[in-house]
Structure 1
């Protein structure tokens, strides 16, 4: 039994970084670099083209991880984009679970996120054009709990107001800035900078190993040290996860960017861009490992047949997938994605969750306008239920669809 526990832990530590985190790093770095190079000019273009906003929001949400969606929330708070854009962004948000699905079940991921994108565009424009009763939902949520702000984000039924956006107009959005270093130890600062450099070496090595892993058809890779492929796979994976834990729990106090999941319009230099990408990915790595262990340990130790449970649930499976998406953050969604890759839940549940989940992008919105965040979550759940149940009724559960 002890051997099983240790094997699962080591495999999760290694595989999580190679199969997921290395690809997260590339995506976050690419997006951060675009922000750095454009110096915020893309944001100004988006402000000037209001009719394109829900479509652009859906595209931003569709990018794997939460980076694109996170960037849209401060824009909404600042009055740059519409409430329909927020809804479209959150519906399309792939979240960090996308990296699990795209690595282990790419065909399923492409279909699920394509469906989510179409739903996002349709629903986002519908909210901005006809409201879809947003004002009524807004008032209902307001009666449940007094909002901390004026709730203006969804006033007027979600319809655009003449001459500008219908959202809040804050002078600044301090909640959405990235923290500067808070630690003052010269030793730990240097150690954290060294860890950051080593982390990127591990990330590049893990990315190469991950690409080769997919090119070979995702075979089982033995856990061992050495100069061969399996040895490099293990070394880069374990080292990357260890460094990620250090950066997230200790290093962030000495290199900055401690409030992960809070986006910026621009970055000052390449070093800051690299630091931001590493800290975002380190946060994802912590969640990925937790999700792997939360799924693997109960299944192995309790001998659970998750597939049988999900099959017996019938139409309740996609409903549960949509409900799980109401939980902010990416941890629960990564658990569900892992379960799908193991053939344990149906495709309808995966798709419902892909539409419903808001990922880390909801946190900045919660910090500024809780009522708008709740209303947006409700509006991402509605198409998730409709599409998830519809897929299950028309095509059946489709266990293992698109899994490598």
Structure 2
């Protein structure tokens, strides 16, 4: 299988005993392909979005606070942007009482999260339809909550009785429904209690090492982008794992180096350049350097989870001969329901695993769509930190349209596998 694979197998045998070549091959291929086929394209998308944030300097947010009627629509648009940055921006506005609870739900329902990068890279047509449906459902449900309440007060009361939290998820009328015109939480004068960004650690050596790793990471990403683009133009053929100046050699080296640097940046380096909590930290785009740093850190996070998703899928399929697609077909309408329920888990990691499974043909389009609506990404964490009731209520309310739309799509088109996958 090539000198790289042979060397890895030999080293593994010396440390852990005999390792079947198939195990090593799956590992090396996943490490390489995850970066070239996904992360390089994610890096470009994140960089473009970060650059827009850098150029606009937050002007959109200031205008939003002045236009209440447009809030759910703009919130959904912010959530629809790939990654969690747009949605994270909206949460402090709600906690200050600047936007309505319907805006929060619309934002979270439309949130594409970091899993959007995976689908955009591997199945752009599927992303267009799934996130388009999520956007429509988010806007409609957000305005419905602001206009009619839809029982927000009752859910809020029930959650507070279960969780015993003191904060309020929304102002309600005597009838237990949200007041017309939106449900705003109390004004919080001090938001410092929500620490969503870990402090930067001090180490001159590690800081400079991380800065060098960032520069080398972008070189690897640029090379991987070219290799990945050629890979798609050639019809996605099998690429041998090898070293050298050939196309396969460059493909392999860029993938392995890029993944190794991503793991370093995510697990070690981020703490020395002001990104202690990747995905949860406040997006900062004060300079171009910070913009590039943010894009690299965000992509590194995605890379870690993409590699994990590849391995979680490939190993059971290869070693246990599990047909995940057949299991999804057998599940029937339960498949989109499972996708919606998975979206209740905060964060982007599980959603990236699901997105990767879709790209591998393991789950149907209806499941992807339900999860796209239900998932709240990392945007839920700042809300949890200050107002747990509002966070739980919002998460419940994003699951409702996810179940409705997911089941409807499943009944309309059936268990559609591989739709839009490149």
Normalising by structure 1, we get a TM-score of 0.92
Choose from 341, 344, 355 the match for 1:323.
341
Gaps of 5+ in 2: 1-18
Choose from 250, 271, 279 the match for 1:232.
250
CA RMSD, 1 decimal: 2.1
Partner of 2:201: 182
1:27-66 equivalent positions in 2, closer than 5 A: 27-66=45-84
Partner of 1:258: 276
Report Cα offsets for 1:279-299 as digits up to 9, x if no partner.
Answer: 222222212211221121112
How many pairs align?
400
Partner of 1:282: 300
Choose from 164, 167, 184 the match for 1:150.
167
Answer yes or no: is the 8 Å Cα contact 1:31–1:67 preserved in 2: no
Choose from 87, 93, 114 the match for 1:69.
87
Gaps of 5+ in 1: none
Change (3 A) 1:248 1:333: same
Please report how far the alpha carbon of residue 243 of structure 1 lies from its aligned counterpart in structure 2 after TM superposition: 0.7
Answer yes or no: is the 8 Å Cα contact 2:196–2:280 preserved in 1: yes
SS in 2 for 1:221: coil
Report Cα offsets for 1:189-221 as digits up to 9, x if no partner.
Answer: 221111111112122222233333333333332
1:135-146 equivalent positions in 2, closer than 5 A: 135-146=153-164
Answer yes or no: is the 8 Å Cα contact 1:261–1:363 preserved in 2: no
SS in 1 for 2:347: coil
Partner of 2:398: 380
Please report how far the alpha carbon of residue 69 of structure 1 lies from its aligned counterpart in structure 2 after TM superposition: 1.8
Please report how far the alpha carbon of residue 234 of structure 1 lies from its aligned counterpart in structure 2 after TM superposition: 1.8
Answer yes or no: is the 8 Å Cα contact 1:155–1:166 preserved in 2: no
Change (3 A) 1:339 1:305: same
Answer yes or no: is the 8 Å Cα contact 1:287–1:331 preserved in 2: yes
Answer yes or no: is the 8 Å Cα contact 1:84–1:158 preserved in 2: no
Please report how far the alpha carbon of residue 377 of structure 1 lies from its aligned counterpart in structure 2 after TM superposition: 0.8
Choose from 119, 122, 139 the match for 1:104.
122
The answer to whether the aligner puts 1:202 opposite 2:213 as a matched pair is no
Normalising by structure 2, we get a TM-score of 0.88
Change (3 A) 1:172 1:272: farther
Change (3 A) 1:23 1:245: same
Answer yes or no: is the 8 Å Cα contact 2:159–2:392 preserved in 1: yes
Answer yes or no: is the 8 Å Cα contact 2:114–2:302 preserved in 1: yes
Please report how far the alpha carbon of residue 153 of structure 1 lies from its aligned counterpart in structure 2 after TM superposition: 4.0
Please report how far the alpha carbon of residue 356 of structure 1 lies from its aligned counterpart in structure 2 after TM superposition: 1.0
Choose from 337, 342, 346 the match for 2:364.
346
Answer yes or no: is the 8 Å Cα contact 1:61–1:68 preserved in 2: yes
Partner of 2:316: 298
Partner of 2:25: 7
Answer yes or no: is the 8 Å Cα contact 2:91–2:379 preserved in 1: yes
